[in-house]
Amino acid sequence: MSNLHVIILAAGQGTRMKSALPKVLHAIAGKPMLGHVLDTARGIAAGACHVVYGHGGDQVQAWHAAAHPDDLSVRWAHQAKQLGTGHAVNQAAPQVPDDATILIAYGDVPLISTETLTALAAAGAESLAVVTVSLAQPRGYGRILRNAAGEVTGIVEENDADDTQRLINEVNTGLMAAPARLLKPWLQRIGNGNKKGEYYLTDIVGFAVSDGIAVKTVNAQDAAEVEGVNDRVQLAQQERAYQQRQAVRLMREGVQFADPSRFDLRGLLLAGKDVFIDVGVIIEGVCELGDGVRVGAYSVLKNVTLGANTQVLTHSVLEGLKAGANCRIGPFARVRPDSLFADEVHIGNFVEVKKGQLGEATKAGHLAYIGDAMVGARVNISAGVITCNYDGVNKHLTVIGDDAFIGTDSQLVAPVTIERNAYVAAGSTITKTAPADALTICRARDQKSIAGWKKPKRKDRQPDA
């Protein structure tokens, strides 16, 4: 809704984080908390987002400029002194048109859902609406006050609550929405006559009641989505809550986890049928896994596409790879960006591929480096093979034709071509074209043996000074 303006409070110093980094830039699933809130606001089609910044504001704005250089929907409001939530909202409110709806969110409440904010915006279009949640242990939260008819009459902060009021378990989350034409005058009426001397946003509930405006409530079904982060313990708790939410969603879509509590998603995962993910796997960026893909324990996948029935074995690190069907990768393999594997490629343990195109059924079983290379189909790359792609200044291309065999411990010094069906003997250093249908062998001309040579002896260890 284009007439919806979201004000996000993000000015707090976050002293309990004990960090030089502004609190709202601490990450959940690899993304700053503020980033999660902004993404959710975009998900409800907010016309504009107004971020109220204070402590570390330069860092916050720099992060946003780097992460979203083309985003013009975010506007900034500076809160020079942190004088309470009412004061914070008042820094941004003048930027909002009077005919808009204002929704107030928090940069340190990262798991708020699109569904809850959508319901809040609808409830606050013509009235004041607040999000509440019932907690078994409500300590630290403002309590929702209701009359005998169940109508909201106010919110009392814990510091100002009496013993009876502190027994109330329905609490204020701080999330509110109201028409700007109502909210702006209420903000001007807020005083600071309380124990902390701050301007509490919650005072507007009393103003609405006194003005005869009904106060609507939206109940958050999931307490985790409205919990704020004040220290690193709570940050870790929100991380686990987020990951559990993602794992449940993926399992309902058909993904099988060896243990959903030991899985981390830091981006977007698109998975086909019967995908299996073992423990300790980290998914980053945008990854797409075809039907029947299996990902082994403690592997990391970033911006990877894997075809049907491809297997990634344990402790492999893949980034920027697009692989076909029935490939076998790992264990302990590393694939770097801009790599492309055809069907049935096998990359084994301690093989590294960087910007490599590998044809169908090509194999590199172990202990090889394939960088800046175009490799044909059914090529065998033996142990210890290196494409020497860097001359100290520039990168160069190695081309290997179909059905070639590269013997153990060979070096291919790029730019160089190994033609189709060529056979390179073990231990060769190839600097010129290896012709098709021929054995190419390169050996050192001079071999020396030094008589009487003895291996070094271990020196006695000197005592510490």
Radius of gyration of the chain (CA): 31
The span from the CA of 264 to the CA of 211, in Å, is 49
Ramachandran angles phi, psi of 215, nearest 5°: -105, 115
The span from the CA of 205 to the CA of 128, in Å, is 8
Q: Beta strands 152-156 and 143-146: pairing type?
A: antiparallel
Task: Name residue 341's beta-bridge partners.
Answer: 323, 358
The span from the CA of 106 to the CA of 10, in Å, is 6
Q: Where are the alpha helices (DSSP H) in 83-202?
A: 85-92, 114-123, 180-189
For 287-339, give the DSSP string: EEE-TT-EE-TT-EEES-EE-TT-EE-TT-EEESEEE-TT-EE-SS-EE-SSE
Nearest to 242 by CA among 219, 218, 222: 222
The span from the CA of 410 to the CA of 404, in Å, is 13
The span from the CA of 9 to the CA of 50, in Å, is 8
Residue with tokens 């001309």: 445
C-alpha distances (whole Å) from 377 to each of 310, 426, 442 are 17, 20, 24
The span from the CA of 179 to the CA of 40, in Å, is 20
Query: Which two structure tokens, joined as six digits, stand for 171?
Result: 């609490």
Active-site residue flag, 366: yes
Q: Out of 55, 68, 315, 366, which one is annotated catalytic?
A: 366
Coil, strand or helix: which one is 174?
A: strand
Query: Which two structure tokens, joined as six digits, stand for 389?
Result: 């792609």
How many angstroms separate the first and last alpha carbons of the chain? 74
For 369-386, give the DSSP string: EEEEEEE-TT-EE-TT-E
Give catalytic residue positions: 366
